[in-house]
Each structure stands twice: as structure tokens, then as C-alpha cells.
Amino acid sequence: MLRPKLPVMPQPTGLVTPPARVVEPTAVIQQQPAPVAPPVAPVAAPVSSRPMVQLTPGSVLALVGGGTAVVLVVGTVLVSMLLAVAVTAVSVAVCALVIRSLNSSQHCR
């Protein structure tokens, strides 16, 4: 009923590119070592090719605002988790008190 269809590999119809040329090895010629130059005074450090980050007052304000927002969101999540744990603990404590009072009232009868 469900048979997979195998793709058929089409034959090339146009011009076929020839295979890449084979690179022939070249001869290695050893040269005399260069004479050692006398030490030169230190040169200034080369300029880094990485782009410099320039902070404008607007971008600083945006970074501070974004950081503040992240801190507030994370703080809200943590406080809500702490509140959930506290509510759960209080409800378990109330249940324990109710069960204890029910058990003690059965023993008195």
C-alpha cells in the first residue's frame, strides 16, 4: 500500500566540468640564513584589528535600563517562588493541626 519512492539519479545532459588539475610538487631550495639584525628600540604596540565599542549616553542608559529590568524580573520570580513555598508550608501546618485535633478528640470519647 505505502511504498517508498526511490529518487532516480539523472544523467548529466550538458557540459560536464573536467576534474580539478593535479598540482605537481615543486622543488625545495635551501637558502643561506639571513644575518641577524642588531636589536632595535621597541616600537609602539600594533593597533588591534577588533572594532572598539563606543558607549554613547543613550546606549549607557539603555544598558542600565535593561540590567534593571532583568534584576527586577529575576527578583519577582524568586520572591514568588519563596511565597509559594511559604503558602505550602502554612497549609501543611494547618492540615497537621486539624488531623492532630481530630485524633485527640477521638481518644477522649
Cβ burial 52-76 (10 Å sphere, 16+ → b, else e): eeeeeeeeeeeeeeeeeeeeeeeee
Is residue 48 in a domain?
Answer: no
Q: Tell me the C-alpha distance between 51 and 49, whole Å.
A: 6
Residue 69 within a domain = no
Give this prediction's pTM.
0.44
96: containing domain: 79-109
Over residues 3-62, the pLDDT tens digits come to 878 778 777 667 767 667 777 777 777 777 767 666 666 666 666 777 777 888 899 999
What total number of domains does the chain contain? 1
